[in-house]
Structure 1
Amino acid sequence: MKLHHGQLFWPTTVTNARTFPELTTATTCDVLIIGGGMSGSIMARMLADYHLDTVLIEKRTIGSGSTSANTGLLQFSNDAMLIDLIDRFGKEKAVYFYKLCLKAIDELDKYNATLKDKTSFKRKDSFYFASDEHDIKKLKKEYEALKEHGFNADYLDRHAIENLYSFTAPAGIYTKTEAEVNPYQFALALASHAADHGVSIFEHTEVLSHQFNKKDLIFQTEKGEIRTKHVIYATGYGTQEFAKTKGALLERTYTIATEPIHHLPGWHNRSLIWETARPYHYLRTTEDSRILIGGLDTDLNNEEELEQKGHQLLTKLHELFPSIKASIAYEWSAIFGSTKDGLPYIGKHPKYDGVYFMLGYGGNGTVYSMLGAEILKDLILYGHHPAMDITKLKR
């Protein structure tokens, strides 16, 4: 499965990336992580603190899969609104999950502070606006739920929005607890930190076969064998068939990055921006003053001309910010996973002991990966985490 197509922006921001050897011998460990993208790198960084004998393998290079196409918006709000999760799971579980997402952003911030390498991590405000008049009632209800349960949010009417942005919308929710990051830099920096603290990392190492025994789990690669007590599949969308996550949906999303634009009138605090429509457009700026805008999700098997999609995204950008004269510097498409209930698949395999999955499907993938690392760490060390039933595979 080709995870992305076109010219990616984030890999151009890194020169002389650290490399890791290929596995060429037999080895044993306590925990094997398969996949060196954002999920695997966060997991490796976490386990490094707990002194578990950990091995991470990546069939390509660190961060070169879906992570390199990620737009790097970090939000506690989800594709599924809090009020929708309350209807689905009840108030206690829904609010707990949203607070876990908020805590995950704080934990990502703390991790970033420990890294030697630059990641462009920055705390940001976020603006979620109603795409049309029909969404006002639901957006107001969402705001009231957020406030009721202690989330820092402001409700903006049309007049307030017009004072802050160059476009208009009937209503919106403004929050101040989110963040943005260069995801490719971040994954590389996390992996490097993990390696410096005892995690063995191997690139260009693909699992060719596996055998699950009661005593241990055995994985064969082209040039070596790995025996482990626990395995974490952090291979994203490539894990779909084995994990049997029937509620998952794979689609294709499109993104452009503009040439640098140093003056952005009508964009309050360079906030993250997204909308209530599904599929939705999402926007952010970068450290070097580019604009990233993405969306236009389509069926996985219906890839349209990249140039055509890029032009549509640029047109949307100019509709929102007519005084910003932008041109496309990079454009790409990528496979994007979501779930029917808006939650990730994180937890034990329903059949095999010692086999775990961290599948951060949804627009909040990096945040899901952080909270997922906490869940899986507790499952491995203690056999339990309070959120394990919320994110379990079989639900």
Structure 2
Amino acid sequence: MDLSSGLPLSLIQNGLPHVYPKLRRDIRTPVTVIGAGISGALTAYALVNAGLECVVVDARTAGLGSTCASTSLLQYEIDVPLTELSAKIGKAHAQRAYELCAASIGALEEISHKLDGSLFRHKESLLLASYKKDVTWLEAECKARRAMGLEVEWWDAAAVKKHMGFEKPGAIWSATAAQTDAYLLTHSLHRHIISKGAQVYDRTPVKDIRFSKTGAELLTAGGPVIRSRNIVIATGYETLQYLPAHVVQLYSTYAVAGEHAESGPAWYHDCLIWETKTPYLYMRTTTDNRVIVGGRDEAYYNPHRRDKLIKTKTRQLQRDVHARFPHLDFQPEFAWAGTFGNTQDGLPYIGGYRKMPHTFFALGFGGNGITFSQTAAEIVCSLIQGKKHPDAGIFSFDRFKG
């Protein structure tokens, strides 16, 4: 699947930080991770740190799927609000899902500092009520988050105007957020696991998987076979080729990076900004004083239709920035499109799938896919070691049954 196009900022800035070989020979390994993007990289990192040998393979050059197109916001907020999620899956599971996302931000900070401290930046986050009708449920959402221990405060219209300079009827200010560079972090993770004895192969498509009682054989397009006791599928939105069940609705999303400014900050605390409307708009800044704006999502039909809209979406996103911050000279420099997906409850799918033995899925579906990917890495690593994980049921493929 063609997952991204255009000129993603991180890819332009960083090019190909590292080069990995194609698989040229048959190999045997305890665990094979299919997918060398951020989800696969975090999973492999967890496995290696647990003392497990693994091999990572990817059909394309590592990181050039959805990962390079990520705008790399790290938030605990799930696409489905806490109050709504509680009604869908129960209060305890909903709160736990939010807690795990918040904890993942801390875990990603720890990982980033072990690799390269520049890859992680603490931020605060502002969720704006797009319309007056959103204020009632957003205030309830703020109370629900505060009640479970998250550090939030309610801003009324006057507070939004005072701090941000534009008119909105209300907002939730959250102290727990961050940003990274998913593309660079992915490569740093791969280099780390290679230094610990793991292997990473890209441009090595897996064309077939043959299961046996003791494991599986992965047949690659080039001919070599990987014999593995366990498989982790971390191919993101391309995973649908492995799953007969319809588990995710795909969308096209758009992002624009403006020219770098002479100075910052662009707005109050350079916080992450997003809105309640659907599809929502979001904005963040970069270390070189650029503004990145994203959103304007469309239902995914095909890459050609998605890509034809990049110019139109760029103009619309530029207007979105100017509507909120008319003082900013926001001039688009790089624009790109990506593919993402939503699930029925906004949660990812993590763990085993009954029709595929010896196989575990680490699928960070949703708007905060990087934090979901970290949660998936921890759960999958535990399951591969034969341990029960107390949170696995929240994200299982069977969670809608019964």
User: TM-score if structure 2 supplies the norm length?
Assistant: 0.95
Give the Å deviation of 1:317: 0.4
Letter matched to residue 152 of structure 1: E
Contact kept? 1:119, 1:189, Cα under 8 Å: no
Give the Å deviation of 1:225: 0.8
Give the Å deviation of 1:118: 6.3
Give the Å deviation of 1:243: 2.2
Q: State yes or no: 1:61 paired with 2:61.
A: yes
3-state SS in 2 of match to 1:164: helix
Report 1:173-188 matches (<5 A): 173-188=172-187
Letter matched to residue 207 of structure 1: V
* Other-structure match for 1:113: 113
Letter matched to residue 327 of structure 2: S
* Other-structure match for 1:284: 284
Q: State yes or no: 1:360 paired with 2:364.
A: yes
Give the Å deviation of 1:64: 1.0
The number of equivalent residue pairs is 394
Q: State yes or no: 1:306 paired with 2:310.
A: yes
Report 1:83-98 matches (<5 A): 83-98=83-98
Contact kept? 2:7, 2:335, Cα under 8 Å: yes
Contact kept? 1:255, 1:295, Cα under 8 Å: yes
* Other-structure match for 1:164: 163
Report 1:226-375 matches (<5 A): 226-264=226-264, 267-301=267-301, 302-303=305-306, 304-375=308-379
Contact kept? 2:157, 2:168, Cα under 8 Å: yes
- The whole-number CA distance in structure 2 between the counterparts of 1:32 and 1:201 is 10
3-state SS in 1 of match to 2:153: strand
Deviates more, 1:47-56 or 1:344-353: 344-353
Letter matched to residue 279 of structure 1: P
Give the Å deviation of 1:353: 2.3
Contact kept? 1:119, 1:186, Cα under 8 Å: no
3-state SS in 1 of match to 2:357: coil
3-state SS in 1 of match to 2:137: helix
The percent of aligned pairs where both chains have the same amino acid is 33
Give the Å deviation of 1:265: 6.5
TM-aligned CA distance change 1:16 to 1:207, over 3 Å: closer
Letter matched to residue 121 of structure 2: K
Structure 1, gaps ≥5 residues long: none
3-state SS in 2 of match to 1:353: strand
- The whole-number CA distance in structure 2 between the counterparts of 1:231 and 1:106 is 27
Give the Å deviation of 1:16: 5.7
1:176-218 deviation per Cα after TM superposition (whole angstroms, max 9, x unaligned): 1111011111111111111111211111111121101111210
Contact kept? 2:265, 2:289, Cα under 8 Å: no
TM-aligned CA distance change 1:22 to 1:65, over 3 Å: same
Contact kept? 1:272, 1:284, Cα under 8 Å: yes
* Other-structure match for 1:217: 216
Give the Å deviation of 1:245: 4.5
- The whole-number CA distance in structure 2 between the counterparts of 1:369 and 1:87 is 24
Give the Å deviation of 1:244: 3.5
TM-aligned CA distance change 1:208 to 1:156, over 3 Å: same
1:1-33 deviation per Cα after TM superposition (whole angstroms, max 9, x unaligned): 211121221112225612111111111111100
* Other-structure match for 1:386: 390
Letter matched to residue 187 of structure 2: L
* Other-structure match for 1:18: 18
Give the Å deviation of 1:57: 0.6
- The whole-number CA distance in structure 1 between the counterparts of 2:19 and 2:139 is 49
Contact kept? 2:112, 2:119, Cα under 8 Å: no
Letter matched to residue 35 of structure 1: G
User: TM-score if structure 1 supplies the norm length?
Assistant: 0.97
- The whole-number CA distance in structure 2 between the counterparts of 1:175 and 1:245 is 36
TM-aligned CA distance change 1:335 to 1:273, over 3 Å: same
* Other-structure match for 2:6: 6
Contact kept? 1:166, 1:266, Cα under 8 Å: no
Contact kept? 1:119, 1:183, Cα under 8 Å: no
Give the Å deviation of 1:281: 0.4
Give the Å deviation of 1:390: 1.0
Q: State yes or no: 1:78 paired with 2:82.
A: no
1:61-108 deviation per Cα after TM superposition (whole angstroms, max 9, x unaligned): 221110000000000011111111111111111111110111111000
Letter matched to residue 344 of structure 1: P
1:288-313 deviation per Cα after TM superposition (whole angstroms, max 9, x unaligned): 11111011111212534311110000
Contact kept? 1:76, 1:102, Cα under 8 Å: yes
Structure 2, gaps ≥5 residues long: none
3-state SS in 1 of match to 2:20: coil
Give the Å deviation of 1:316: 0.3
1:13-58 deviation per Cα after TM superposition (whole angstroms, max 9, x unaligned): 2256121111111111111000000000111111111111100011
Q: RMSD between aligned alpha carbons?
A: 1.4
